[in-house]
Structure 1
Amino acid sequence: MAISQHQVQVNQQTATDAAMQVHENNHIELLGERLFARPSQYFVIHKPAGCICSNKDEAYPSVFKAVGLNQNEQLHIAGRLDADTTGLVLATDDGRWSFSITRPEQRCPKVYKVTLAKPITHNAIEQLERGLVLQGEAKATLPAMVNTLSATEVELSIYEGKFHQVKRMFAATGNRVKALHRQQIADIVLDIAPGEWRALSQLEIDCFSST
């Protein structure tokens, strides 16, 4: 309404298109009063099982609804988890920040605790740490780091976020993932109980600029 009535100026020019893109450093005025963008929001969520990383309920409830985090229409998930996977999820309304997390070039480590159906073998560890070709993929995965916790439990660090990647990686070694939990992304370590959320500190927000 304000734009159609020529009440908005961007960099001293009258705005005529409601779809025009503006940036933080643009000078925007409404009826002569300067407007400022509100600060972006950044949250860590401990995702429980049985919910999806979506803004809306589908076959499973939205993770935002499951943990009671409002403002879900403005937020999106940076690096989704499957409905049955638990652990660390990041939510924000800052698209550039979330892109820096999800693109493989950033080499942003994601650490998972994996419970397997069968004991892991030395050959499987070598395959995972070398990188392996997943079904339907042309290129091998980036080399992973494997820390053996027990015969059927490992800590796996990866640097990508392909569809069902961890489950597909172990399937390629002849094993099956029984339970999957993400406990860390870059320098952000999960430190809240299942179903809880908290705002990120500025130090945590800034850690992705150097990953």
Structure 2
Amino acid sequence: MKNSKPSKVRLDKLLGSLGYCVRKEVAVLLRDGVITHIDNLSLKSDTKVSHEEILYEGEPLDPPTGIVILMNKPLGLVCSHDDGEGRLVYDLLPPRWRMRDPKISTIGRLDKETSGLLLLSDDGALLHRLTSPKHKVPKVYEATLDRPLQGDEAEIFASGTLMLNGEKNPCLPAKLTIIDESHVTLEITEGRYHQVRRMFAAVGNHVMALHRSSFGDLTLGDLKEGEYRLLDLEEMTN
């Protein structure tokens, strides 16, 4: 079997897709020595190169398309690209990552008042796979409730018959684990709008605090609030 060579693209297109600059700026960055070849070969804006050949300020380029980011989302940040909605989760990333093409987007959303595990990616197929209801990816939330449990919530959530206000179909079965009378974890396999909060509202309670602790097999590990890391392929395929 022949080894396939890395595909090559124009230098200005490569750097533009990774958000380092707009294409017309590449010539200036080359002149100033910001962009160099790993083997010190001569470069022009239209030189066809592979990703691993290029250095930016002496450092390898950011990963190509297909990155997945695991973030410990703080409270108060919005999962949106609209600056008018407040401070965005994307503000925690390097500024150039917001300029990547394809765009980095969140895999599902956590509302402004929910913290915890958030995935982001520029891989459209992965975004679809992990958010599609048919794949039933489990997600675990830790919730603090306004009032003590009544005692039948676990059975109701597990039944697959709970209807949310305004919905035509019942929620899929969910697993409630009781820590104490007002602290629980809830594992769901859907991603409806404000689903956990609405599920507890449907049984006469109110979620005071909400934190997502896992997404599929992924957990936050030792990531502190506001921190993030890139996932490798092995982590995404487990």
Decide: shared fold, TM above 0.5: yes
Contact 1:69–1:197 (CA under 8 A) maintained in structure 2: no
Query: Structure 1 residue 61 and structure 2 residue 76: aligned?
Result: no
Number of equivalenced pairs: 176
Equivalent position of 2:210 in the other structure: 180
Equivalent position of 1:91 in the other structure: 120
Equivalent position of 1:202 in the other structure: 233
Q: CA RMSD in A?
A: 2.0
User: How far 1:69 moved relative to its partner?
Assistant: 3.8
Query: Structure 1 residue 80 and structure 2 residue 106: aligned?
Result: no
User: How far 1:34 moved relative to its partner?
Assistant: 8.5
Equivalent position of 1:19 in the other structure: none
Q: Secondary structure at the match of 2:118?
A: strand
The verdict on how the C-alpha distance between 1:136 and 1:196 changes in structure 2, with shifts beyond 3 A counting, is same
Query: Structure 1 residue 160 and structure 2 residue 220: aligned?
Result: no
Equivalent position of 1:119 in the other structure: 148
Q: Distance in 2 between matches of 1:197 and 1:163?
A: 24
Paired residue type of 1:53: C
Q: Which runs of 5+ in 1 are unaligned?
A: 1-30
User: How far 1:202 moved relative to its partner?
Assistant: 1.8
Equivalent position of 1:9 in the other structure: none
2:158 counterpart (125, 129, 137): 129
Contact 2:65–2:123 (CA under 8 A) maintained in structure 1: no
Runs of 4+ residues deviating >3 angstroms? 31-39
Q: Distance in 2 between matches of 1:49 and 1:32?
A: 45
Equivalent position of 1:139 in the other structure: 169
Paired residue type of 2:149: I
User: How far 1:33 moved relative to its partner?
Assistant: 5.7
Q: Which runs of 5+ in 2 are unaligned?
A: 1-45, 52-62
Q: Distance in 2 between matches of 1:204 and 1:146?
A: 26
- Comparing 116-125 with 168-177, which one deviates more in the overlay? 116-125
